[in-house]
Structure 1
Amino acid sequence: MASEFSPLARLLLGNLADAPASVRQRMLATIPTTMLSLAFYSFTLLVICATTAYIARTAWAWGWLIFSMAMIAWRFLCPVIARRRGQPEPLVEIMVSAGLSIISFGFGSTMSILSGDIALMTISLSGSMGILAGLATRWAALPRPAIASMVLTTAPPALTLMLVGGAYMAAALVILCVMVSIATFTKHNQENLLAAITAEELHRRMAQTDHLTGLANRAQVIEQIALNCEDLPARQGEGGRRFAVLYIDLDGFKAVNDTHGHAAGDEILQRVADCLRQVIGPDEMVARIGGDEFVVLLRDADGLTARAVADEIIAAISREHRIADGRALRVGCSVGISLAPLQGREPETLLARADAALYEVKSQGKGRTGLWRTLGEA
């Protein structure tokens, strides 16, 4: 996992860097990145900066306004450019631009306090509180950059108020207390959200996993076949994605169950699952969809590739399997194949045709491979 992210990305992601990809994606999806939410934030920031520049009429105020406009433009352009290039949401670039904008707000608040103008002080400190509230909600999934931004927003004006002294020191303490409270809430909110999403993902995986073998179950393989069907070319003969569905049924498994008991049968199923994982590899899907029936989804595979893989599967499974008590048991298998889009564009159709091919080859003997509607050529 460590090699998946740069050091900066891992620093920003915190505990999300080590979370499962599905959990991480759902957590990051809670960060509002729509143009509407960005427009509200940008409008508010520009109103604060423009009002400050109009009242102060100083170089630092105009510089703050110009810099804020540049950061907003950067923030708007980052996702637009990424989408045009077909790249994912540039989260790091977005956070960097947001961080620089936050730093500039801390600078603007400090200068507003040093100006001694009550109106400017009120505007800047009100804006700081608004930023704290926004960070606690918008960036709750990433507490590290959120809390760092809170510190950068409130620490400079708070320290400035302390240096001014007098009653302003009490105001500084209030600001810091509010910041610490909101930061603590943000951290706890992230932990609760992460725990809830992790639990949901665990339940979802359990609902899509065969508990005996750890393979995908029927629901998950149908879902994956459906996703691959969506990428098929619109017309037959066009270039594009293609894939194969292999339907596998064990030969001699009932005899193992009847002779050696269901515990031995369960161990054989686990050994078969291990064989399938080794043959297919981590990039393809293997599922157990019932008793002694398995399905393999081969992406970007034609008939020749599917037959070759099926032969490897038969060779790997058709050998002695030693179970826990030391007994060596033997089973075999037969394989039926259907191809997409040539022989179907729907998950149930492809499974049914692979099953029909399997039924036909099993009627001819054991340890065979058959492609739907070309069985006579097998």
Structure 2
Amino acid sequence: MSGQASSYSLPRWRLTRWLTDAGPDVPADIRVALIGSLYGTLPIFAGGVINTIAVSFLIAMRIPALPFVLWCAFEVICCVTRLFVLLLAQKRAKQGKETPTDLYILLGVGWAGGVGYGTFISLTSGDWVVATLACLSAAAMVGGICFRNFGAPRLAGVMIFLTLGACCFAAPFLGEPIMLIVFMQIPFYLFSMSRATRTLNKMLVTTMRAERENEFHARHDMLTGLSNRSGLTKALDAHFARDAGQKRLALIYLDLDGFKVVNDSYGHMAGDRLLQLVAERLRGMIRNGDLAARIGGDEFIVLSEQTEATQLLGFGERLIREISRPYELDNKHEVTVGASVGIALAPEHGTDMMTLLAAADGALYQAKSRGKSRCMIASQSELDRPFPTKPLLVASACQLH
């Protein structure tokens, strides 16, 4: 019953999956969020694009040899393509479509390789102005790589290696023994920055886990795992915000008959176990797209997009029949409870939780007043009915009110 959130596709290729792997115990929704983080921070992305194109262009102007011209051309093509893929992915994610995540990741790796190539040819050119400019540019890119990609530590590590590793490869060709110190500096720098990226990644995953647990606890009943009143209200509000009241919806209000007797006879732990078993049966009966909730005590709600009276009454009858089957609480006790059902329709009976609950509760009152184990659909008169006190009567039928 909730709206579809914008999200980016997980990578499908073996290499890109390895580069972005977040660990074996990371839930799928957090993996999706981590991939989404790779597409963020557009200002940092734009700064890196402008910097690398400007540096490669200036160096190619200073040394207009083929290797430098090719480097400049590659930077322009790669950066423009990355920007296009980024904007395309953002648009498709908002539309709920497949995003070119694999291509986006490989373009990032290619860009880092291009920066490293430019650093190598600049260092080996013999022009120390060019070498200084290229090395400063490469070093400056490392911070942005870490900040934009700590959602994927392996990817960040590979990009840092490709960006700065060129200094190690170029050092033996420079004829300056002092430059061999980079064989100590660059590996240490790569290790420390990769370690920092992994630490940030762990902190991010831990924070995401905590946020999702808090959100789950806020919207779900801890005893049964069904939605609670808050989650039900949010789902209903999201439905009307998404469909602007054009799509009908049924609120099915179910109340157990005889639960208090079980609770008093066998204790609260047995009563809690019975509620869990009822929730399991309820969860197994609803359709994909419907939502089941427990709003307190022995009261349950189903939000359903099936709204035809015949369908609803048939579903109500199945609910009553399934809920009324015996339950085995432990090896010694088998108990039976009944169920009564009241149904309200949106927008006919209202478009907010309180109004719909009042109408469904009025129909439930009518069902109970005519005997337990009945299902009733609210009439228009239920709109003006206050919340009633439910009497305990006996009957068995599913009727349209």
| TM-score of the alignment, normalized to the shorter chain, above 0.5 | yes
- TM (normalized to structure 1)? 0.89
Please, which of 149, 154, 161 is the counterpart of residue 151 of structure 1?
Answer: 161
* Cα deviation, residue 138, structure 1: 1.2
Please, which of 225, 229, 245 is the counterpart of residue 236 of structure 2?
Answer: 225
For the aligned residue pairs, the C-alpha RMSD in angstroms reads 2.5
Judge which range, 323-332 or 164-173, deviates more: 164-173
Q: What amino acid sits opposite 1:215 in the alignment? A: L
Query: In structure 2, how many angstroms separate the alpha carbons of the residues matched to 1:83 and 1:299?
Result: 31
* Cα deviation, residue 323, structure 1: 1.0
Q: SS state of the match for residue 379, structure 2?
A: coil
Query: In structure 2, how many angstroms separate the alpha carbons of the residues matched to 1:329 and 1:71?
Result: 69
* Cα deviation, residue 93, structure 1: 2.7
Q: What amino acid sits opposite 1:231 in the alignment? A: R
Is 1:76 aligned with 2:83? yes
| Bigger helix fraction | 1
Q: Say whether the 8 Å CA contact 1:287–1:295 is kept in structure 2.
A: yes
Task: Quote the residue 2:249 is aligned against.
Answer: 243
Is 1:164 aligned with 2:171? no
Judge which range, 363-372 or 85-94, deviates more: 85-94
Unaligned runs of 5+ in 2: 1-9, 383-398
Q: Say whether the 8 Å CA contact 1:334–1:362 is kept in structure 2.
A: yes
Please, which of 10, 27, 39 is the counterpart of residue 17 of structure 2?
Answer: 10
Distance 1:156 1:301, change over 3 A: farther
Please, which of 347, 367, 371 is the counterpart of residue 373 of structure 2?
Answer: 367
Q: Say whether the 8 Å CA contact 1:244–1:297 is kept in structure 2.
A: yes
Is 1:19 aligned with 2:7? no
Is 1:195 aligned with 2:195? no
Q: Say whether the 8 Å CA contact 2:252–2:301 is kept in structure 1.
A: yes
Judge which range, 272-281 or 26-35, deviates more: 26-35
Distance 1:134 1:35, change over 3 A: closer
Is 1:320 aligned with 2:331? no
Please, which of 51, 57, 60 is the counterpart of residue 53 of structure 1?
Answer: 60
Task: Quote the residue 2:395 is aligned against.
Answer: none
Distance 1:113 1:306, change over 3 A: farther
Judge which range, 338-347 or 115-124, deviates more: 338-347
Distance 1:230 1:7, change over 3 A: same
Query: In structure 1, how many angstroms separate the alpha carbons of the residues matched to 2:180 and 2:57?
Result: 28
Distance 1:151 1:337, change over 3 A: same
* Cα deviation, residue 89, structure 1: 4.9
Q: Say whether the 8 Å CA contact 1:154–1:176 is kept in structure 2.
A: no
Judge which range, 283-292 or 300-309, deviates more: 300-309
Identity %: 29
Judge which range, 314-323 or 241-250, deviates more: 241-250
Distance 1:12 1:294, change over 3 A: farther
Query: In structure 2, how many angstroms separate the alpha carbons of the residues matched to 1:129 and 1:52?
Result: 17
Please, which of 86, 89, 93 is the counterpart of residue 103 of structure 2?
Answer: 93
Distance 1:37 1:301, change over 3 A: farther
Unaligned runs of 5+ in 1: none
Q: What amino acid sits opposite 1:40 in the alignment? A: G
* Cα deviation, residue 203, structure 1: 2.7
Query: In structure 1, how many angstroms separate the alpha carbons of the residues matched to 2:56 and 2:309?
Result: 65
Is 1:184 aligned with 2:175? no
Is 1:38 aligned with 2:45? yes
Distance 1:48 1:290, change over 3 A: same
Counterparts in 2 of 1:271-310, with a 5 A limit? 271-280=277-286, 283-299=289-305, 302-310=308-316
Please, which of 310, 317, 330 is the counterpart of residue 311 of structure 1?
Answer: 317
Query: In structure 2, how many angstroms separate the alpha carbons of the residues matched to 1:342 and 1:162?
Result: 81
Query: In structure 1, how many angstroms separate the alpha carbons of the residues matched to 2:65 and 2:236?
Result: 64
Q: SS state of the match for residue 337, structure 1?
A: strand
Query: In structure 1, how many angstroms separate the alpha carbons of the residues matched to 2:378 and 2:363?
Result: 5
* Cα deviation, residue 304, structure 1: 4.0
Distance 1:172 1:187, change over 3 A: same
- TM (normalized to structure 2)? 0.84
Q: Say whether the 8 Å CA contact 1:158–1:173 is kept in structure 2.
A: no
Distance 1:340 1:70, change over 3 A: farther
Query: In structure 2, how many angstroms separate the alpha carbons of the residues matched to 1:187 and 1:193?
Result: 10
CA distances 1:65-107 after superposition (whole Å, capped 9, x unpaired): 2211112222222244345553255433322221111111111
Q: What amino acid sits opposite 1:37 in the alignment? A: I
